[in-house]
Structure 1
Amino acid sequence: MTEDLLWPRYRGPDDLPSVEAIPLEARGLPGSTYDLLVRAASTWPDRTALTVLPDAAQWRGPAQLTFARLLDRVHRYANLLHRLGVRRGDAVALMSPNCAELIPATLAAQLAGIAAPLNGALAPGHLGELLRRSGARVLIAAGPELAPEVWAKVPELTGALDAVLVLRPREAQAPSVPLPRLGGVLVGELAELSRGDDASGFAGETPAAGDLAAFFHTGGTTGTPKLAAHTHAGEVANAWMIAANAMLDGDAVVFAALPLFHVNALVVTLLAPLFKGQQVVWAGPLGYREPALYGEFWSIVEHYGITAMSAVPTVYQVLARYAVGAADISSLRHAMVGASPLPDAVRTAFEAHTGVTLVEGYGLTEATCASARSFPDAPRPGAVGQRMPYQHVKAVHPDSWTELPAGQTGLLVIGGPTVFAGYVTGRDDRGRPVLDGLGKLVDGWLDTGDLARLDSDGFVHLAGRAKDLIIRGGHNIDPAAIEDALLAHPHVTGAGAVGRPDPHAGEVPVAYVTLAPEADVSEDELRRWAAEHVPEAAAAPKTVTVLTALPVTDVGKPYKLALRADATRRAVAEALAGHGHDSHVDAAIEDGSVLVSVTPGTGEREAISAVLDQYALRWTWSRTTPGPVMS
C-alpha cells in the first residue's frame, strides 16, 4: 500500500472525477476491520487511540488506550470468544452503553466472528427476536453497575445463550456486584475472564474482505426487527471514503457520543479514524443523552482540541444555547450532521454561535453508513451532499426503475461497494446466516425508500420519504410497532402512525385510528394505551386522532402521505397559534412530499417565518381557498 494511492486530493466536489480515475481496488485498502486496526497499531503504536470519558462531570479523568494497547485488548477479547466456541460465521451480540470495554469488544467480535450490536432500550421481545435471527450464543452486556436498566433484561434473553460476558464501569474500584446464575449459562466479567488470554495475536481464522463483519438492526417498516449484514470490505471502504476528507489529518481529534449500536458511531467515529491514526474522544455512557454534557461541552472541545464531531440536528440545536464563554474552540472545524433533516434555524443559530459550518451528510444502515457528504467551502443549499467516491446514486421511476434525468424527482437508489449483503432471515442447516434483500436490492441497487433529485454534479436533494419510517432525533421508529399496539385495543379497527414535524426532535410519532361503532373511548385514553404497549418509550405517540376513515389510495392501499400532511398541518397551526398568530394553515402533497402553505395576517410574515424556520419542512405563503381538514 502506498500513501500516494491511499490519499488522493479530495477537498471539494470538483475533485470527485480525479479521485475515481483510479479504481478503488487499486488503492490498497486493508482487507478487513482487523487489518485496518493492525495497520494503525503498527504505524502509530504509542499514539493515543481512545480517550473515554466516565461521564460529563469527570471529563478530566478519562481512560486512554494507545493503538498498540487497543490491539492487545482486541486480541485478548477475541481469543476469549474463540475459546467459547465463536467462529467466523458466528454472531456475538453486544448490548451496552458506550464504555472503555465496549469499543475493543466490538472490534474483537468482528475479529472472532460477527458483531451484532443491540439497542438495550428495546423491549425484551424485540431483543429476543434479534438474538434469534442473529444466531448469537454469546452476549456481551452492561452489568448492573454500568447500566442496571439494561442488565435487568438479560435474564429474559438467556434461553439460547451459552455465555454472558459482563462489562463494568471503568471507575468501579469496589468488589463487583455478585452476578446471578442464569440456568447453565456462563456468566462472568469480560475483563476478568480474558485476563489470561494471549494479547499478541489471534488464535483463530482472521476475516477476509468478503466475510460478514456485523449485523445492525434497522427500524424497518414491517413491524419485524431487521438485521442488515455488513461485510468487512464494505465497512472498510465506507470508512476510507470518510477518512479521505483532506481537511482532517492525523492530528485531528474526533469527538464521539452516538451509541455503538448505530452505524455512525462504528464507521465514522471508530473505523475511519484508524486510517490516519486520529485520536477519538468518547463521551460517557449516555453520550449526547446526558444533559450535563452540554454545559461542559465547550470546555471539553478546548481541553482535548476537538477537531471534528458528528451528531444529529437536535444536538446542535441544544449546543447553540450554551455559551462558549472563555473556551477556545478554534480547533473545531468539521461538525457533521445527518440522520434527520436539518432545519435552517438550527443551522443559522449554531453557525452564528460558534463560527463553525455544519456539514450535512446522508446515509443509511443498508448502505453501511454514509453515501453523500457536503463541503464547508462549497455549500450547495438544499442538498444533503454529493455522492461519495465509488458509490453510485440515481433517481429512478418508483415503478419501472427507469433512470430519470438530472433535476427530476424519483426514488433514490444506491449502488457500489458499500451496499449491504442483505437482511439476516435465519440460519441454514449448517448454521450459516441466510441473507435476503427482501425487495430492497434490485440487480445490485439499493432502494433507499427516499425520494430525491440529483443535480449535474451528483448532489442529492431529498424530497421526502417514500418509506414510512419515523426518525425521532436520529432514532428510527417503526410505525408498525405503534399501529400494532393500538390495534390491540378492543375498540380500534384501524391505525396509522406517521412522523409529525418537531422543532427539537425533527419528528415525533403521532397516530390516527378508526373505532368500532358505538365505541366509547377518548383520544387521550388511546394515547395512554399506546404508551403502555409500544416496545420503547420513544415510540409512544404524542397524539392519537380518531378519524371516520383512514385515507387510502385509488387501489385501496393505506395512504400515509395524507396522514403526514395532516400531522404537519396540525403541528404548524399549533405552533403559530402558540406564538399568537391567527393564521390559516394548509398542507398539500407535491412531488411526494408535504408542502405547507400559510395565509398570514397583516404584518405577520417576518414573525411567522421565524417560527417556521425552526422546522425542517417546505412551506410557502398562500392566499388561496383553504383545503379540506381531515376528520
Structure 2
Amino acid sequence: MSTSPLWPRYDSPDDLAAIEAVPLAERGLPATTYELLRSAAERRPEHVALDVMPDAARWRDSVATTYAELLADVHRTANVLHSVGVGRGDAVTLLSPNCAALIPTMLAAQLAGIAAPVNHALAPDHVRHLVRLSGSRVLVAAGPELDPGVWRTVEALTADGLVDTVLVLRPTGTTGEPPAVTLPGVDVSYLAARTPGESARTFTGIPPEADDIAALFHTGGTTGAPKLAAHTHRGEVSDAWMLAANGLLGPDARLLAALPLFHVNALVVTLLAPLFKAQTAVWAGPLGYRDVDLYGCFWQVVEHHRISTMSAVPTVYSVLAQVPVTADISSLRFAMVGASALPDAVRSDFESRTGVPLVEGYGLTEATCASVRSFPGAPRRGSVGQRMPYQRLKTVRVEEDGSWVDLPRGQHGVLAISGPTVFAGYVVGHGPDGLVLDAGSSVVDGWLDTGDLAWIDDDDFVHLTGRAKDLIIRGGHNINPATVEEALLSHPSVTGAGVVGEPDEHAGEVPVAFVTLSQDTTEDELLAWASTRVAERAAAPRRVTVLDALPVTDVGKPFKLELRARAVQRAVAARLDDVPGLLEVRSVVEDGIVVAVVSLESTESAEAIGERLARLDVPTRIEAAS
C-alpha cells in the first residue's frame, strides 16, 4: 500500500520511528466513530461491511449488510434513540448477545449518546449496579426469541423501576410476527418496528465531538462490583487506527468477529478498525467462540468466508489446534491473541498444525483496547510485542508513599502507559453536566498504572512478567508467580496454570499451583517437574491442584482471586480441622479481598478460632448457627 498521512508504512518494528516523525494530529484521522463510519460508507457504499451468521450451525446462511446499508441503519437507530430522549451525555445500556441488529445499535448509541454494553451473563445484581452507575434510562436488549435469560433480567430491571424505555432485538435473519412483549409501566417495543419511520439519510440530533464520551465499558467485576471505564471518541478512533495502519491487511480483507460486543476487543479490533479500510467483518453468531458447534465447522467457515485474520484468547487456539484442518484455509494470514499469557505449547501446537502464525498483543480497558502488537515476520520470544505508535510506555517503581520512580530500559517494574488512548476515568457519579469521572490513583500525570509487571527492551518491545498484586511474599521474599507458571506450562500435559499465595503461619505465604491438563498426569509428577525448573527453591509450589478449567473474569481474563479463595479456604480449614462445633469453612471475594467465612454451631468456639487463625493473617468472619 502506498504511504500517505493516513497510511504510513507499518509492516515491521523498524517502522515505528518514521511513523512517529509525523504528529498524530497531522494523520487526518476522523474525529469520531460516526465520522469514521460515514467516511467508509462514502468510499465503498456497496462493499459488504458485515456478514452475520445466525449461529454456528447456519454458517452458510449469513446476513450481509453493505456500508451504505450500515450507515442507514445507524442513522435510523440513532434517530429512534434521540426520539426517546437520549442526548449527548445519556448512556444507552446494551444487554444482548451478538446479532445483526446489535452492531449498528452500538454505533448508533455512540452517535446519539453514550453506548454502555453490559455482559448479559453477569449476575443480576451486577447488571443493576451498572445500569444505576451509568444513569441509563434506555435499554436495548435481547428479546425472548434471542435470549430468554436476558429477557428475564430485563423484566427484573423494569420491575425495579430502573429504566423507562426498552427496545427489543430479534435473532439474526428472523422473519415473521414476533411474540408480544409487555413490561408494566415501561415503553417497550421492537427496535425493528420503530426504525422504518426514521430518516436513513442523516442524524436529526447533534453529532458528537472528538473528546465526548463514546462508550462505558465495565472492567469485569472481579474485585467486587464492576467499574465503568469511560472511552472518548478520540481514544477509540486513535486505537482503531493504530491497529488498522498495519500493512498486512488490504481493503478486501475479511476479519472473523466472534468475541462479544461488551468486550473492548470486539468493538475496537473487529468493528472499528475494519471501518478505516472499509473491510468486511464476519460475525460468528450470538455465542461466538462459546458455541461448541463452531469448532466442528471452524475451518469450513474460514474457507467459505475467506477469513484473513481473527482475534481470540489462548484457550480458543488450544481447542482449534486439536481440530483437523479439512478445508482450504490459505486465506488466513495470521491470528491475533491476547487477554492472557500464550503458553508456548499452545503456540507450537496451533502453528505446526495449521501453518498460521499467532500474533500476540497486549492492552486493557483503561487504555481503550490495544497498546502493544507483534509482527508475524518478526517474532521476539518472550515478548507480547512492540508498543503501538503514539503510545508511550515505561516501567516504574511504586514507593511506599505511592510516588513513582521511573526505571531504565531493561529493568523490571510496574508498566505504565500514556497517550491518546488512556481512558477518561471511571464513572463515580452524576452531576448537572452529566457523568462525573475520576481516574483515581490509576492515572498519575497522564500515565496509566496498568498493574502489570514488565520490562521494556531497547526496541520498545514489552516483556510481561506478572501482575503487581499477584506477587507472593514468602518470608519477606518476593516470588513472581509467572516464573512458576512458565515452569509448569513447559510440561507437555499442562494447558493452563495459575499460581497464587496460600496463607502460611510460618512463611506468611507459600506458592500453590492450579493447572489444567490435556492428558492425565499426577500431581506429584508436576511438583517434581516444577521444582527442577524454577530458579529458586522458595518459588517451588507446595501443592499442585488439577482443575477442569481455570477461572476467568466476565471478559475472559484469568481470575486469580478465585484461585486465592480456594487456597485460603484450604489453609483455614486445615488450621481448624479439630475445632469443636465447626460446621463449614468457605471463602468469598468481597471488594477485591478474600474473606474466610467460618460457620460454627455456636459462638462458644469463636475465641479459639481467632487464636488459631491469628498467624495466618486472613480476614475472617465467624457465623454461628445459633
TM-score (norm 2): 0.79
Structure 1 residues 450-469: aligned runs within 5 Å: 450-467=452-469
Cα distance in structure 1, aligned partners of 2:413 and 2:28: 35
Alignment partners' CA distance in 2, 1:167 and 1:293:
23
Which residue in 2 is equivalent to 1:263? 264
Residue 512 of structure 2 aligns with an amino acid whose one-letter code is D
Provide the rounded CA distance (Å) in 1 between the counterparts of 2:296 and 2:539. Answer: 37
Checking the alignment, whether the CA contact within 8 Å between 1:391 and 1:414 is kept in structure 2 is yes
1:220, distance to aligned residue in structure 2 (A): 5.4
| One-letter identity of the residue aligned with 2:172 | R
Contact 1:586-1:598 within 8 A present in 2 as well = no
- SS of the equivalent of 1:92 reads strand
The amino acid that maps onto 1:439 is S
Residue correspondence of structure 1 range 532-571 to structure 2 within 5 A: 562=509, 565-568=511-514
Residues of 2 paired with 1:157 and 1:366: CA distance?
27
Other-structure match for 1:364: 364
> Shift of residue 407 of structure 1?
1.1
Residue pairs, 1:173-572, within 5 angstroms: 173-182=175-184, 184-219=185-220, 222-325=223-326, 327-399=327-399, 400-428=403-431, 430=432, 432-467=434-469, 506=496, 562=509, 565-568=511-514
Over 3 Å counting, the alpha-carbon distance change for 1:468 and 1:128 in structure 2 is farther
Deviation at 1:160, TM superposition (A): 2.2
Q: Give yes or no for contact 1:587–1:597 (8 Å, CA) kept in 2.
A: no
Question: What is the CA–CA distance in structure 2 between the aligned matches of 1:92 and 1:180, rounded to whole Å?
Answer: 20
Give the counterpart letter for 2:281 in structure 1: V
> SS at the partner of 1:386?
strand
**1:173, CA displacement in angstroms?**
2.8
Aligned residue for 1:583? 528
1:260 alignment partner, SS class: coil
Aligned mates of 2:120, 2:189 — CA distance in 1? 19
3-state secondary structure, aligned to 1:40: helix
Residue aligned with 2:450, SS:
strand
Q: In 2, Cα distance between the equivalents of 1:330 and 1:3? A: 27
Query: CA shift at 1:121, angstroms?
Result: 0.7
SS at match of 1:293: helix
**CA gap 1:114/1:511 in 2 versus in 1, 3 angstroms:** farther
Provide the residue aligned with 1:79 in structure 2. 79
Question: Of 160, 164, 170, which residue of structure 1 is paired with 2:162?
Answer: 160
Partner deviation per Cα, 1:321-355 (whole Å, 9 max, x = no partner): 11112x11111012000000000000000000111
Structure 2 Cα separation of the partners of residues 509 and 34 of structure 1 = 44
Contact kept, 8 Å, 1:585 with 1:598, in 2: the verdict is no
Aligned equivalents of 2:44, 2:206: Cα separation in 1: 25
State the alpha-carbon separation in 2 of the partners of residues 221 and 550 from structure 1. 29
Q: Are the counterparts in 2 of residues 140 and 166 from structure 1 also a CA contact under 8 Å?
A: yes
2:114 maps to a residue whose letter is I
Contact 2:118–2:127 (CA under 8 A) maintained in structure 1: yes
Classify 1:595/1:390 alpha carbon distance in 2 versus 1 (closer, same or farther; 3 Å): farther
Shift of 1:590: 8.2
Unpaired runs of at least 5, structure 2: 472-481, 544-556, 559-569, 575-626
CA distance in structure 2 between the partners assigned to 1:92 and 1:142 by the alignment: 14
Asked if 2 retains the 8 angstrom alpha-carbon contact of 1:251 and 1:278, the reply is: yes
Secondary structure class of the residue paired with 1:82 = helix
2:370 is paired with a residue whose SS is: coil
Contact 2:499–2:512 (CA<8 Å) still a contact in 1? no
CA distance in 1, matches of 2:3, 2:162: 46
Partner letter of residue 120 of structure 2?
G
Q: 1:136 and 2:136 equivalent?
A: yes
CA deviation digits over 1:353-384, x for unaligned, max 9?
Answer: 11111000000000000000001111100000
Q: 1:75 to 1:586 in 2, by over 3 A?
A: same
Give the SS at the match of 1:195: helix
User: What is the aligned-residue RMSD (CA, Å)?
Assistant: 3.0
Distance 1:459 1:451 in 2: 14
CA positional deviation for 1:551? 7.5
- In the TM superposition, what is the alpha-carbon distance from 1:567 to its structure 2 partner? 3.0
Q: 1:550 to 1:296 in 2, by over 3 A?
A: farther
Between the aligned partners of 2:462 and 2:275, the Cα distance in structure 1 is 28
With over 3 angstroms needed to count, the CA separation of the structure-2 counterparts of 1:468 and 1:582, relative to structure 1, is closer
Q: Deviations over 1:17-39 (max 9, x none)?
A: 00000000000100000000000
Aligned to 1:515: none
Give yes or no for contact 2:499–2:513 (8 Å, CA) kept in 1: no
1:170 aligns with 2:200: no
Q: Is the 8 A contact 2:497 2:516 kept in 1?
A: no
SS state of the match for residue 247, structure 1? Answer: coil
Which whole-Å deviations, capped at 9, do the CAs of 1:480-537 have from their partners, x for residues lacking one?
xxxxxxxxxxxxxxxxxx999898884679997xxxxxxxxxxxxxxxxxxxxxxxxx
CA drift of 1:170 comes to 2.5
Instruction: Kindly indicate whether the alpha-carbon contact (under 8 Å) linking 1:221 and 1:467 is maintained by their aligned counterparts in 2.
Output: no
Contact 1:215–1:230 under 8 Å retained in 2: yes
Superposed CA offset, 1:598-628 (max 9, x none): 99xxxxxxxxxxxxxxxx99xxxxxxxxxxx
1:409-436: CA deviation from partner (whole Å, max 9, x where unpaired): 00000000000000001101x1500000
Matched pairs, number = 524
Query: Under a length normalisation based on structure 1, what TM-score does the superposition of the two structures give?
Result: 0.78
- Taking a change above 3 Å as real, the CA distance of residues 344 and 598 of structure 1, as seen in their structure-2 partners, is farther
Determine the structure 1 residue equivalent to 2:27: 27
Asked if structure 2 preserves the Cα contact closer than 8 Å seen for 1:340 and 1:506, the reply is no
SS of the aligned residue for 2:421 comes to coil
> Which segment is superposed worse, 171-180 or 274-283?
171-180
Unmatched runs of 5 consecutive residues or more in structure 1: 470-497, 513-546, 553-561, 600-615, 618-628
> Are the counterparts in 2 of residues 94 and 116 from structure 1 also a CA contact under 8 Å?
yes
Runs of 4+ residues over 4 Å off in structure 1: 498-512, 547-552, 578-582, 584-591, 594-599
Given that 1:341 and 1:506 are in contact with CA atoms closer than 8 Å, whether structure 2 keeps it comes out as no
Q: Deviations over 1:308-327 (max 9, x none)?
A: 100000111111111112x1
* Aligned partner letter, 1:577: T
How far has the Cα of 1:216 moved from its partner? 0.1
Shift of 1:219: 2.4
Q: How many angstroms apart in 2 are the aligned matches of 1:218 and 1:454? A: 26
Identify the residue that residue 588 of structure 2 maps to in structure 1. none
Which whole-Å CA distance do the structure 1 matches of 2:422 and 2:438 have between them?
13
Distance 2:107 2:248 in 1: 27
Counterpart Cα distance in 2 of 1:317 and 1:584 = 22
Q: Structure 2 counterpart of 1:317, which letter?
A: S
Report percent identity of matched pairs. 58
